[in-house]
Structures are given as C-alpha cells and as structure tokens.
Amino acid sequence: MPTIENFATVSYTSGGVAATKNSNLAEIELDSSLGFSKATLGTTYSSGSPVTYVLSVTNNSTATVTELTVTDDLGTFTEGATELTPLTFLSPALLLINGQDSTALLTTDATSTSAVVFTFPSLAPGETANIIYNATPNSYAPLVQASTITNSATLQSNSDCADGEASTTVTVSSAADIEVIKSMCPNPVVCGDTITYTVKIYNYGNIDAEDVVLTDTFNPAPTNITVSRNGVILTPDTYTYTDGTLTVPVQATAGDTVPAATFVRNPETGEVTTIPGLVEYVISGTI
C-alpha cells in the first residue's frame, strides 16, 4: 500500500532576521478501502485437471467504488531467460455479488496467454464480489514431487485508495498414474504355434506405484508358458498360473513396483516432457 508523507514549515523572525524551520517527516500507511483475497478450491493440482480459483473483493468504505479491474498472472514465472505460464484459463468466469449471479456485468479479457483480466463496473459499500474461474495446468506446469504454482492477482479501481494484491499457492499432487497396454503376436497365430503376450505397465505419476500385481486370464489358455519381467525370465515360484489365469508376482509375496516418471523441461521452449516409468511383462506359450 502507498505511504502518506508530510512535513510542516514554520517561518519566523529572530532579532530581525527571517528564518524557517521544517518539522520532521511524518509517515503513515494508506490502507485500501477494498478487501482483496485469492483462494482455491483444493490445495493440489495435476496435469490436465482444472483448478478452481476464487477472487474476492469487499468494499469496506462508505462510497461506491467503480471501474474495478483484476489482473491475474496465471502463475507466470521465469525459468532462465524464458517467461512461462503454467496455467491455461478456461472460459467462462462467474461473478457473484453478495451471492447473486452478476456474471452479465463481468468482462473477461483472455487474449494474452500470460494473464487474464476481469473488469466490472462498480461495488457498493458493504458489498462483496467473487470472481470464480477455472484454469488447467498445461505443458509448462512443474510436475516433480513437491512442485508448486503460485498465482498472483492485482486489483485496481478508479480510486488510489482502492487497490490491492493477493496470491495463492497450489502443490502438485503426489500420486502414481498407471496405464496398461497389452499386445499379442503373431497375428494371425496358428493352433499349435507359440503365442506371445506383452503387457506394458506405464507410470506417468511422480511417485512409485507399489504393491503392483498383474492378473491376466487367457482364453484359450496357452501351455508351457514362460514369463519375463523387463527381459529377465522369472522362475515359476514367482508367479502362479492356474486354469489359464496368471498372477505375477505371487500374492503371498510383496507386489511389484513401477517406478515414478521422469520429468524433463526443454531448455528452449520450457515445456515439460513426461517419460513414464515402465515395467514390461512378456508371456509366451503354446496355443
């Protein structure tokens, strides 16, 4: 907030000589007549999942404030010499004034990728305006465990005494994100020949997937099977195969682990590439 500075000057004569004397410099802070805050619904984010933000403006003065403008930076930060914006605004935004839908009064300018600007005409004494909008973490959002996005906004109006700044921070979710891809070869296969099933378990999350157990039921069931994990042949005591159903590893032991993904930021574009962790099982047998 701005500071009010003031000093006084006294002029006088002493023995017929004119003189002046300045007082000390007095300072006070000028508080805004508007209360301004920013919050999220939830405290975490994940890639591609919208985050809901709430910008709140309260008129604490005795006069109507007009020409209100809120500029939100969508979490823009600098990486090296590159400015990156990790959030993408999702239209439309909503405006509630004292809980009543006033969206018709709200103008939204999202032409810039690094900020979104909201304007509305006025706020009477005692009224509270809430601007509610969603933003999606994009390819610039950091995904390494414990990463954060700090999103800041500034408030301006027709009065120098009615402005403000606010920010809020969300932390990336710590979770495994599993995708399973299965394939078979050859195609076609002749009865009596060898068929090979490949099961790839990808982890796109930022922590390991633990206690992983693969269950696969084959019909028709191949015989004389071999099972490998990441190219290493498994011994029969590390899995079960009964009536065409494979379970690996055996449930009596600890499950498998699919490692967390690796996240690499391109030094030129700033975009984050996800390299998933991978465990690959290959099952071969006579069909």
Q: What single string gives the DSSP state of each residue in 51-101?
A: EEEEEEEEE-SSS-EEEEEEEE-TT-EEETTEEE--EEEEEEEEEEETTEE
Largest CA distance in the chain: 126
The average pLDDT across 160-173 equals: 92
Task: Answer left, alpha or beta for residue 225, where phi above 0 means left and psi between -120 and 50 means alpha.
Answer: beta
What per-residue confidence (pLDDT) applies to 89?
A: 98
Confidence of residue 68 (pLDDT cuts 50, 70, 90): very high
Least confident of 115-129, 146-160, 247-261: 247-261
What per-residue confidence (pLDDT) applies to 30?
A: 58
What per-residue confidence (pLDDT) applies to 252?
A: 58
Mean of the per-residue pLDDT values of the chain: 94
What share of the chain in percent tops pLDDT 70? 97
Task: Show the domains of the chain with their CATH numbers.
Answer: 32-172 (2.60.40.1530), 178-286 (no CATH)
Distance of alpha carbon 248 from alpha carbon 246, whole angstroms: 7
Tens digit of each residue's pLDDT (9 = 90 or more) over 22-59: 988 878 665 568 999 999 999 999 999 999 999 999 99
What per-residue confidence (pLDDT) applies to 32?
A: 64
Question: In terms of pTM, does the model score above 0.85?
Answer: no
